[in-house]
Amino acid sequence: MDIQVDEAEHSMEMHLPYLAKVFEGHPVKIVPILVGAVSAESEAMYGETLSQFVDDPTNFFSISSDFCHWGSRFNYMYHDKKHGPIYKSIEALDKMGMDIIETGDPDSFKKYLSEYDNTICGRHPISVFLHMLKNSSTKIKIKFLRYEQSSQCHNTRDSSVSYASAAAKVDDSNSS
């Protein structure tokens, strides 16, 4: 990547302080993987290649993404009026995507993105992770824990970025 792309990329800077705190006192090795705007075929291929690491319980994955970037400055202003105010429409749109991610189905997530064009900046790493889970022999359950918006949009002059956090862990519900 060129220097401008590298300097603009900030996901590691966002994650490292949290990871340092969570793993404080424990020796860890971090292997950063930057996923750019790759094709659906590449997402599937990388997911399949990396799936073997899901089966190792000593591995931990941290995937970074904001959710909807709404407003004219983001060139995205989807508003389904049946949900009421703009911010409620944004929340419904994001929750639809979150519900699909929780299913672990990369194809459904791709269809959602294609249909709604939600401006989820980490769509590609999320898709790679979903393909990793699909190809792993360890069954993992994803659960969203929190959702926030930077501001509540009431009119077309407003803008907002959504944030969601999720955890993925081994699904023990199928064990006997």
pLDDT of the chain, 176 residues: tens digit per residue = 778 877 777 777 878 888 889 899 998 888 888 888 899 999 999 999 999 999 998 898 888 888 999 999 999 999 999 999 999 999 999 999 999 999 999 999 999 999 999 999 899 999 999 999 999 999 999 999 999 999 999 999 999 999 999 999 988 876 54
**Which tokens is 145 given?**
């824990």
| Percentage helix, strand, coil for the chain under 3-state DSSP, each rounded to 5 | 45, 15, 40
Q: What is the pLDDT of residue 34?
A: 83
Q: What is the pTM of this model?
A: 0.89
CB 29 within 8 A of CB 117: no
Are the C-beta atoms of 19 and 101 separated by less than 8 Å? no
Please provide the size of the chain in residues: 176
